[in-house]
Each structure stands twice: as C-alpha cells, then as structure tokens.
Amino acid sequence: MLVKRILGGLYLSSIDPILKEIDLKSEYGITHILSVVPGTMKESYFSDYEWKQIEITDEETTNVIQYFPESYAFIESALFQNSNDKKHQSCVLVHCSQGVSRSATFIIAYLMQKYHLSIDQALHAVKRKCPGAEPNPGFMNQLKLYNEMGFKIDESNQKYNEILKSNSLKTDPTGRSLRDVIMEKSGSPKELNEELLYELRCKRCRQILASSVHIENHDIPESDSRQSSFIKTAPNSRRIISVERASLVCSHYFFKEPVKWMKQELDKAEMEGKFQCPKCSSKVGGYSWRGSRCSCGKWMVPAIHLQEAKVDYIKRESTLRN
C-alpha cells in the first residue's frame, strides 16, 4: 500500500511514501502531512508541506485521546480553509509506520466528529479503501469514549480516568507512577467539603472520615463479565481450584483521591497499607496503588478505601428534609 484516498482530500498511508521521498504534492495534490510516528523525521522532505508530527507508539496503553483535538484541528484546517467551504480545498495525508492502527485511528476520530458518524460507520469508511486498517483494541476503546464525551476531553469523566489509570498500571505495574501522578495532582490531600449528601463516620468514635463528594461510585460488573467471579488457581499454575461468584453488595467505599487525614500514612510512600481512624486509631480501611477488587468483583485503581463494616453511613439533615 502506498497512498489511499479515504474521502475527498483525506488520504492514508504507511511511512513508505515518506521514506521513498515521493512527490506527494504532484502525485496526489497533498499539501498537508500528519505523521503519527515517534522519532526524528527528515525535515527537509517536509519543507514543501504543512507538516505536523504526533510522536506516539502503537500500544494499547498509549493515551491517544489527548491528541484528538489537535489532530482534528490540523486536518480540518487543511481540508476546509474557512468556515464557508463546502468542498475540500486541499489534501491531507495521515500516516504511521504501517498504515494500519495509528493513522486509521486519527482518521476515524476525524470522520466521527466531522460527519457525526458512529465508530462502526467511520471504521467502515476507512476499511473499504484500506481493508487492512485496524486500530488496536485500546485505541478502539478510546475512540468510543471520545464519542461518548462529545468529542471533548472531560477530565472529570470516570471512564476517561479509568483508562488513564489502567494505562499507567500497564506501563508501570508497580503502581509507583500512578501514585506519584495522583499525589502530585491532588497536592496535599484535600479538606472535607461541607456540601454533602452523606457522611461516613468511624463506627467506634463517630469521627467524620469521608463524604459523598470523596467517594467514587462504581457499577457492579455484569453477570457475564470476567470480574463477576473470583477465580482461584493452583500455585504456579493456571489450573483452576475454585470459582466463587462475586457479591451483589459492595463492602468498601472507594475514594476518588486521598483526603487530608490520610497524609501521615501516605507520606510513608509505601505501595499499600492500612488506614487508622485519626481520632481513635481503629482500623478503618486501606490502600493499594496497584489496585484491588471490591467484593462485587470490580477492579478499582487505585484502591483507596474504607471498609463498610468499620463506618456508619449518615445522611445529611438537609438531604433528609428534601
């Protein structure tokens, strides 16, 4: 495959035409090139083109969503030079190394946003011209999420944060990188917010430990999900010893990020540990930066939690009055 026209002035290819220094302007009328590859490129080749490079690798753990807005803007500025244009005014090439995953991903993202296509429709538009094009599973999940977020990066979106956390763990399974990012993002752990729906109090001394604004709600895994069961295997083997269905009730409250009273324990910089009530020192919960599973089976990353059995759930009076 050299260069394939996907739609109008939008083209896809591998890196081969670039390495062979093909005159894309005279051959195809291409004036803009988006290179989705890491490393140094021969910049002299691009002197006759409007050129942009996004340096990412084709790995499921790559956070590709963060580049969708700038890639959309680049492609849009090439194809439609002003808002009144109805036809493509010039041509743009999107390429990666093989012309399979990364380049297809960015073109699909553009088609979905520009023409209000579903991910299946946009994928079909690419594959009908390039049958071998296939974003990797991680990129497909991120394309679906980008659609769900209305083609904007919503840092408060739970699914987006789950992708970021999951990708961080795949890159660094120890959880250290994730811990550092979260602690840096949150700064010193936050004070308790007073505008609450409910409070979680230590069962022994009634100390307030958390509120509704700190807790990350999560859905119980579907019955056919792998997370709906706890599977025990033999030591150093994949032989299954037992399979136990996960509970339909959650036994933990998981935090979005640390709160102030946790600081002393977290300052130890351990990868996991236990939390004691700051007032009476009762054991109330724990944490694991690598993540752990709730009793419902849901994998939570990171797992900063209070045990339901150790706290009382108290609705605020204003909530009760309403």
pLDDT at position 320, please?
A: 44
pLDDT score of 186: 56
Q: CATH topology for 3-154?
A: Protein-Tyrosine Phosphatase; Chain A (3.90.190)
Q: What's the whole-model pTM score?
A: 0.65
pLDDT score, position 185:
60
pLDDT digits (tens, 9 = 90+) for 169-188: 777 777 777 777 666 665 44
pLDDT tens by residue, 49-98: 999 999 999 988 889 999 999 999 999 999 987 656 667 778 999 999 99
Looking at residue 227, its pLDDT comes to 82
Q: Where in the chain is the domain with CATH 3.90.190.10?
A: 3-154
pLDDT at 322: 43
What would the DSSP string read from start to end of 279-320? Answer: TT--EEEEEETT-EE-TTS-EESSEEEEEGGGEEEEE-HHHH
Segments of the chain scoring below 70 in pLDDT: 1, 82-86, 181-196, 317-322
Distance CA 166, CA 177 (A): 12
- pLDDT for the residue 193: 45
Task: List every span in the chain annotated with CATH 2.170.150.
Answer: 176-220+247-321
Q: Are 192 and 228 a contacting pair, CB within 8 Å?
A: no
Residues 96, 202, 294, 296: which is the catalytic one?
Answer: 96
Q: How far is CA 12 from CA 100, 121, 150, 293, in A?
A: 9, 17, 25, 42
Is residue 96 among the annotated active site residues?
yes
Q: Which fold has domain 176-220+247-321?
A: 2.170.150
What confidence score (pLDDT) does residue 189 get? 44
